[in-house]
Amino acid sequence: MLGSGEMKKKLMFNSIISIFSQIIIIILGIIIPRIFIASYGSDVNGLLGTIGQIYTYVALLESGICAATQNALYEPIAKNDNDNISEILSISNSYYHRVTILYSLAILALAFIVPLLLKTNVDYWTVFVIFILEGLASSLNFWFIEKWRALLAADGKQYVESLINCIVKILTYSIKLLLSFLGWSIIFLSFFALLISFLRLVIYYVYTKKVYPWVKIQYLENKKKLEDRNAYVISDIAWTIFSSTDMFLLSAVFSTALASVYSVYNMIYSNLASLMNVFYSSVSYILGQVFFADKERYVRFHDGYETVFIMLMSIAMSSCAVLTIPFVQLYIKGVADINYVYKYLPFMMGEVQLLSWDRYVSGNLVCIAGYAKQSMKYSLIEAALNVVLSLILSLKFGIYGVVFATICSLLYKLTMLTILANQVILKRKCIYTIRRIFINNIIYILICIYFIFHPIQVNDMFSFFLTAFLSLFCMSLIFMVINVAIERKTVKFIFNIVLGRK
């Protein structure tokens, strides 16, 4: 079990390095799509965004194994049981190798099918080759890297992965930037990105051999060690369907140009969410280790994490919602091939992220406590709801319809996970979690309503960043004052954790 000094040190390393690395990735991730729109047009940008999103979420198919491995590792790490850690990683390695073979076959099948489904001016074989190249990079990661990612996360060394990702992203985006200025085919962008993936393999190999020389990977299988693996995999399949529905539906039913509009808005919110996610991932390992060491103490950690992360996400989404339209107007200035300004879309997409984060800590507890099968059922229903509602509402309301369908689906799973985490696992009423979710969402909605009728106007990037700073300050003040007033004991506990007093 971590001591307070070691906990504080790891928290600082993980938080600072992870956030810094993600900020760099976000900045590059905002610049590159804008250059693609200018260089290749909205059609190509929408195509690359659609393929990228499909693969981002298809890659989640392996995270069932990653989640099962990570949760299985918490207890032996807390007990310094190196033999058990090696055994779990060996089992995980066997699973990953089988999944990689199936995944590679799926890549080939999708490469033939997806170009037929997308409404784009890019020719069939170009889409085919890009799809293959993107998939090969993921296959390499599955085969060689993913088991080590699970160990780093469970061991509280998320900062290592963050640094590696930052290095790889900088190199990848730099190559893409250069090639786009040179006017090279988009196929070469994917090809050079694949080559850079080999560098990731080398870095992981060198680091893990140095830090974990005692880990012995053998070819064996013990289903009891990863008994919830199938539940995690099915949950991630459901999440894949749920998360890719909007982008794929817009590309297939309307056009990749409209998908480009969605991708610009989604880029803003997903980047902010990813920034929060690396921060959460860098400290969430504590929840897993504390749960197995002291369940009574865990409850205080649970409430603390839930309070802080719901509050932080509410601040981020409120600031983002009021600034998105001014940013988009500056971002796509000079692009006239399709309308990019949708008045209500920022507030709806902010609510999507807010509802997603409202369930993070409860969802994490459900997995740690061994209730992955129940969570799997909720994920399947959520995905089915999103597909059905998106198909119905998109025909009437277009891009607004698919986002509203996502909100409705999220509400279902949020409700079920809140009940499962509080009533079943923690043996208490749901009022604590409901209060946090309700108060922060009400404040967010009221802020959105005000700015819908009083939109922010900016003329240049300087005034935008100045407005963004003032907005973030005001939103932080509003949410922090209200949350601290309501959750005084919980906030004090987290404050003491950060200072290393608990």
pLDDT tens digits, 182-208: 878 778 888 888 888 888 888 888 988
Residue 200 lies in a domain: yes
Residue 62, pLDDT score: 64
| Residue from 41, 44, 469, 50 nearest 267 by CA | 50
Report whether 408 contacts 388 (CB < 8 A): no
Residue 443, pLDDT score: 94
Report whether 215 contacts 86 (CB < 8 A): yes
* Alpha carbons 464 and 304: distance in angstroms, whole number: 33
Q: Residue 11 to residues 17, 39, 163, 300, 500: CA-CA distances in angstroms? A: 10, 42, 15, 17, 10
Share of the chain above pLDDT 70, in %: 88
Residue 332: phi, psi to the nearest 5?
Answer: -105, 20
* Sequence-distant (≥ 6) Cβ neighbours of residue 453 within 8 angstroms: none
Residue 17 has pLDDT above 70, yes or no: yes
- Where is average pLDDT lowest: 198-212, 285-299, 395-409, 417-431? 285-299
Q: Looking at residues 309-336, what average pLDDT do you find?
A: 84
Joined together, the tokens standing for residue 405 give 């369908």
* Alpha carbons 91 and 96: distance in angstroms, whole number: 9
Residue 333 has pLDDT above 80, yes or no: no
Q: Looking at residues 302-331, what average pLDDT do you find?
A: 87
Residue 250 has pLDDT above 60, yes or no: yes
Residue 447, pLDDT score: 93
CA 399 from centre of chain? 22
Residue 282, pLDDT score: 66
* Alpha carbons 70 and 64: distance in angstroms, whole number: 10
Residue 294, pLDDT score: 76
Alpha helices in 398-487 (DSSP H): 399-419, 431-453, 461-486
Reported as half-sphere exposure (CB side, CA atoms, 13 A), residue 462 has a value of 0
Report whether 350 contacts 444 (CB < 8 A): yes
Output the CA torsion 371→373→374→375 (10° steps): 90
- Where is average pLDDT lowest: 56-60, 214-218, 434-438? 56-60
Q: Sorting pLDDT into bands at 50, 70 and 90, what band is 275?
A: confident
* Alpha carbons 117 and 242: distance in angstroms, whole number: 18
Q: Looking at residues 212-237, what average pLDDT do you find?
A: 69
| Residue from 376, 325, 360 nearest 433 by CA | 360
Q: What is the pLDDT of residues 115-124, one digit of tens each?
A: 887 777 788 8
Q: 42-58 and 4-40 are packed helices; what angle lies between their axes, rounded to 10 degrees?
A: 150
Residue 266 lies in a domain: no
| Residue from 113, 112, 123, 99 nearest 44 by CA | 123
Reported as half-sphere exposure (CB side, CA atoms, 13 A), residue 260 has a value of 26
Residue 10, pLDDT score: 64
Q: Looking at residues 91-115, what average pLDDT do you find?
A: 83
Q: What is the pLDDT of residues 359-410, one digit of tens each?
A: 888 888 887 777 878 888 888 888 889 889 988 888 888 888 888 999 999 9
* Sequence-distant (≥ 6) Cβ neighbours of residue 148 within 8 angstroms: 204, 208
Residue 299 lies in a domain: no
Output the CA torsion 103→92→160→48 (10° steps): 10
- Where is average pLDDT lowest: 38-47, 191-200, 414-423, 473-482? 38-47
Return the amino acid letter for 377.
Answer: K
pTM more than 0.75: no
| Residue from 74, 101, 89, 99 nearest 218 by CA | 89
Residue 258, pLDDT score: 74
Number of other CB atoms surrounding residue 97 within 10 Å: 13
Q: What is the pLDDT of residues 128-175, one digit of tens each?
A: 888 888 888 878 888 888 888 888 888 878 788 888 888 888 888 888
Residue 402 lies in a domain: no
Residue 292 lies in a domain: no
Per-residue H/E/C for 346-379: HHHHHHHHHHHHHCHHHHHHHHHCCCHHHHHHHH
Report whether 59 contacts 107 (CB < 8 A): no
Q: Name which residue leads in pLDDT, 207 or 53.
A: 207
Q: What is the DSSP letter of 426?
A: S
User: Among 89-98, 271-280, 452-461, 470-479, which range has the highest average pLDDT?
Assistant: 470-479
Residue 22, pLDDT score: 74
Q: Sorting pLDDT into bands at 50, 70 and 90, what band is 9?
A: low
Helix (H, G, I), strand (E, B) or coil at 217: coil
Residue 444, pLDDT score: 94
The alpha carbon dihedral of 32, 33, 37, 40 has a sign of positive
Report whether 159 contacts 14 (CB < 8 A): yes
Residue 460 lies in a domain: no
- Split into its structural domains, the chain has a count of 1
For 130: left if phi > 0, alpha if psi spans -120 to 50, otherwise beta; the answer is: alpha
Joined together, the tokens standing for residue 124 give 């069939």
Helix (H, G, I), strand (E, B) or coil at 218: coil
* Alpha carbons 210 and 368: distance in angstroms, whole number: 29
> In whole numbers, what is the pLDDT of the chain averaged over residues?
81
Q: Sorting pLDDT into bands at 50, 70 and 90, what band is 57?
A: low
Joined together, the tokens standing for residue 42 give 């909205």
Residue 81 lies in a domain: yes
Residue 477 has pLDDT above 90, yes or no: yes
What burial class does residue 498 get, using C-beta atoms within 10 Å of its C-beta: 0-12 exposed, 13-18 middle, 19+ buried?
A: middle
Q: Looking at residues 88-100, what average pLDDT do you find?
A: 84
Q: Sorting pLDDT into bands at 50, 70 and 90, what band is 99?
A: confident
What burial class does residue 346 get, using C-beta atoms within 10 Å of its C-beta: 0-12 exposed, 13-18 middle, 19+ buried?
A: buried
120 is in which domain, residue-wise?
Answer: 19-234
Residue 114 lies in a domain: yes
